[in-house]
């Protein structure tokens, strides 16, 4: 069996309506927390009193309170992620021969992901900044050259490009044959204990070679030129490194059910992000946050699977569960639970179909409805539609959606 085409992608947005517009407006409000008309109402012959009036006005204003609320919200929930990936043509390639005692699988795939998140530095005008405002107004009351106040609120962009080549081998290590029916056994349609014990245990492992490119960039809102959405899409410089991963697992397969467990990246390969330049930052909390998570570690994850088949094996109900959460290259936590039902057709002309539900038990904790079709026993199309919604540019959209297209042949 070999793959001809296998590609997919999607997006995820944090629980903030009109995220990019809110961030861009916050950047504007940080740069101009007071206008000339407002300064005119605060003038005092004593420059020190004038500066105090400015600081008090800005720091206690409704506009500043609203701005700081937005900054807090986007730090907590404001993230946007784009991802895309696919397999190299002709992979995964699976070949089984009796002389080898099992099956070999060669797989090669690549994926890219970019994520924008935000670090909040609440706006607060110091006496020094207020004095600079006062001096600028006194120098030119009609068109004062107002300075940009110091503020370290930042958009942090992280991206990864991951290439993977894997070689796996699996073989049967135990087989139990179903006994012939005897008098007193359950009637057809019912399973005896001995029939339930019939099946085959397959065990295997996979060695993977990784080439990983990691990039990150911090852009303060006061220096942002292109807007937050364009900043997410801007080109980045990647640092490349390599590593190896090891997967092991086992699967028990019977006519009526299967159950298995698999551990990914048993050896925890890790890769380094480049160090972010924090020159010009003054907020120690922001500096510490920008210096954190410089290592991407592929921690081990235990994945469990179980399925029940109909007598004809055309219908199947499948349950999958990640036993623990792990992070993806840009720091998002994932622990999937999936439940699906599928019909596998025996006809070339009648498509197979599946429908299901999946939920991330960690991180964003988003849930999805999933659906898919397999046509001509070779072409598969699957979508996942997020159940949580938000407003984006006036439209209601799901917070996340994914699509996957696959084409494979078996001979």
pTM above 0.75, yes or no: yes
Q: Give the mean pLDDT of 156-178.
A: 93
Which of 12-26, 129-143, 175-189 bottoms out in mean pLDDT, i.e. has the lowest?
175-189
CB atoms within 10 A of CB 318: 17
For 24, list phi and psi in degrees, rounded to 5: -65, -40
Which of 257-261, 278-282, 402-406 bottoms out in mean pLDDT, i.e. has the lowest?
278-282
- Residues in contact with 166: Cβ distance below 8 Å, sequence separation at least 6, in sequence order: 105, 106, 107, 108, 206, 207, 208, 209, 247
The pLDDT value recorded for residue 185 is 54
Average pLDDT, the chain: 92
Q: Is the pLDDT of residue 61 over 60?
A: yes
For 325, list phi and psi in degrees, rounded to 5: -90, 145
Query: 18, 73 in Cβ contact below 8 A?
Result: no
Which of 157-161, 225-229, 265-269, 311-315 bottoms out in mean pLDDT, i.e. has the lowest?
225-229
């Amino acid at each position: 069996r070999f793959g001809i085409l296998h590609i997919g992608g999607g997006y995820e947005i944090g629980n903030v309506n009109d995220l990019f517009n809110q961030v861009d407006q916050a950047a504007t409000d940080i740069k101009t927390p007071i206008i000339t008309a407002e300064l005119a109402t605060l003038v005092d012959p004593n420059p020190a009193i004038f500066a105090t009036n400015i600081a008090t006005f800005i720091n206690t204003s409704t506009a500043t309170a609203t701005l700081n609320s937005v900054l807090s919200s986007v730090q907590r929930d404001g993230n946007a992620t784009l991802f895309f990936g696919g397999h190299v043509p002709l992979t995964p390639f699976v070949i089984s021969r009796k002389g080898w005692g099992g099956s070999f699988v060669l797989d090669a795939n690549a994926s890219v992901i970019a994520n924008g998140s935000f670090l909040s530095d609440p706006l607060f005008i110091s006496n020094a900044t207020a004095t600079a405002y006062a001096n600028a107004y006194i120098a030119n009351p009609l068109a004062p050259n107002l300075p940009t106040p110091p503020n370290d609120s930042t958009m942090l962009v992280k991206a990864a490009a991951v290439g993977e080549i894997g070689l796996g081998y699996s073989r049967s290590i135990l087989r139990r044959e179903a006994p012939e029916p005897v008098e007193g056994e359950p009637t057809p349609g019912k399973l005896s204990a001995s029939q339930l014990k019939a099946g085959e245990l397959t065990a295997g492992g996979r060695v993977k070679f990784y080439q990983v490119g990691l990039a990150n960039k911090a852009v303060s809102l006061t220096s942002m030129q292109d807007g937050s959405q364009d900043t997410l899409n801007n080109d980045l410089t990647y640092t490349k490194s390599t590593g190896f991963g090891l997967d092991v697992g086992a699967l028990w397969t019977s006519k009526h059910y299967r159950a298995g467990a698999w551990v990914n990246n048993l050896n925890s390969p890790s890769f380094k992000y480049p160090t972010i330049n924090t020159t010009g930052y003054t907020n120690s909390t922001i500096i510490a946050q920008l210096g954190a998570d410089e290592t991407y570690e592929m921690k081990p994850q235990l994945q469990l699977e179980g399925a029940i088949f109909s007598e004809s094996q055309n219908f199947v109900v499948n349950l999958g569960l990640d036993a623990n959460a792990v992070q993806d290259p840009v720091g998002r936590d994932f622990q999937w639970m999936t439940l699906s039902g599928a019909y596998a057709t025996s006809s070339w002309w009648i498509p197979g179909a599946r429908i299901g539900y999946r939920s991330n038990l960690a991180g964003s904790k988003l849930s999805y409805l999933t659906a898919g079709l397999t046509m001509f026993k070779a072409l598969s199309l699957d979508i996942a539609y997020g159940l949580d919604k938000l407003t984006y540019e006036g439209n209601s959209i799901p917070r996340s959606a994914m699509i996957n297209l696959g084409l494979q042949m078996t001979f």
